[in-house]
Structure 1
Amino acid sequence: MTGPEESNAKPPFRADHVGSLLRPQRLHKARQDHADGRIDAAELRGVEDEAIREVVKAQRDVGLKSATDGEFRRAYWHQDFILQLDGIRQGDATTTVRFQNADGVVEWQPAALQIAGKVGLAEPIFLDAFQHLASVAEGVTPKLTIPSPSMVHYRGGKTALDPAIYPDVEEFWNDLSAAYAAEVRALADAGCTYLQLDDTSLAYLNDEKQRAAIAERGEDAEHQHLRYIKQINAALADRPEGMAITTHLCRGNYRSSWVAEGGYDFVAEALFGELDVDGFFLEFDDHRSGGFEPLRYVPRHKRVVLGLVTTKRGELESKDDLKRRIEEATKYVDLDQLCLSPQCGFSSTVEGNALTYEDQIAKLRLIVETAAEVWG
Structure 2
Amino acid sequence: MKAPFYADHVGSFLRPERIKEARLQKDNGEISAAQLRSIEDEEIIRLVEKQKEAGLQAVTDGEMRRAWWHFDFLAGLDGVELYETEAGIQFAGVQTKAHGIKVTGKVDFTNHPMIEDYKFLHSIKGDHAAKFTIPSPNMLFFRGTIDEKVYPDHEALLQDLVAAYQKAIQAFYDAGCRYLQLDDTAWAVFFSEKGKEQIAARGQNPDELLHTFQRAVNESIAKKPEDMVITMHICRGNFKSTYTASGGYDAAAEVIFGGLDVDGLFLEFDDERSGGFEPLKFVNRPSLKIVLGLITSKHGDLEDPEAVKARIKEAAKWAPLEQLCLSPQCGFASTEEGNLLTEEAQWAKVRHVVSIANDVWK
Q: Residue type of the partner of 1:256?
A: S
Q: Give the whole-Å Cα distance in 2 for the aligned partners of 1:125 and 1:51.
A: 19
SS at 1:90's partner residue? strand
- Within 5 Å, give how 1:119-138 maps onto structure 2: 119-138=107-126
Q: Residue type of the partner of 2:163?
A: A
Map of 1:371 onto structure 2: 357
Q: Which moved more, 1:235-244 or 1:91-100?
A: 91-100
Q: Residue type of the partner of 1:218?
A: G
Map of 1:61 onto structure 2: 53
Structure 2 length as normaliser, TM-score? 0.97
Q: Which runs of 4+ in 1 moved over 4 A?
A: none
Map of 1:4 onto structure 2: none
Among 76, 79, 87, the alignment partner of 1:87 is: 79
Alpha-carbon contact 1:346-1:353 (below 8 Å) kept: yes
Map of 1:354 onto structure 2: 340
Alpha-carbon contact 2:188-2:195 (below 8 Å) kept: no
Tell me by how many angstroms 1:316 deviates: 0.8
Q: CA RMSD in A?
A: 1.2
- Within 5 Å, give how 1:267-286 maps onto structure 2: 267-286=252-271
Q: Residue type of the partner of 1:230?
A: R
Tell me by how many angstroms 1:92 deviates: 5.4
- Within 5 Å, give how 1:20-39 maps onto structure 2: 20-39=12-31
Tell me by how many angstroms 1:288 deviates: 0.5
1:164 aligns with 2:149: yes
Q: Give the whole-Å Cα distance in 1 for the aligned partners of 2:38 and 2:97.
A: 30
Q: Residue type of the partner of 1:161?
A: I
Map of 2:244 onto structure 1: 259
Alpha-carbon contact 1:60-1:139 (below 8 Å) kept: no
1:31-77 CA-to-partner distances (Å, cap 9, x unmatched) read 11111111101110011000000000000001100000000000000
Alpha-carbon contact 1:95-1:112 (below 8 Å) kept: no
SS at 1:363's partner residue? helix
1:229 aligns with 2:221: no
Map of 1:5 onto structure 2: none
Alpha-carbon contact 1:307-1:344 (below 8 Å) kept: yes
Tell me by how many angstroms 1:330 deviates: 0.7
1:313-344 CA-to-partner distances (Å, cap 9, x unmatched) read 11011111111110010110000000000000
Identity value in percent: 48
Q: Which moved more, 1:46-55 or 1:87-96?
A: 87-96
Q: Give the whole-Å Cα distance in 1 for the aligned partners of 2:220 and 2:238.
A: 25
Structure 1 length as normaliser, TM-score? 0.93
- Within 5 Å, give how 1:170-249 maps onto structure 2: 170-249=155-234
Q: Which runs of 5+ in 2 are unaligned?
A: none
Tell me by how many angstroms 1:95 deviates: 4.7
Among 90, 112, 126, the alignment partner of 1:98 is: 90
Map of 1:298 onto structure 2: 283
Q: Residue type of the partner of 2:154?
A: V
Q: Give the whole-Å Cα distance in 2 for the aligned partners of 1:366 and 1:16.
A: 11
Q: Which runs of 5+ in 1 are unaligned?
A: 1-7
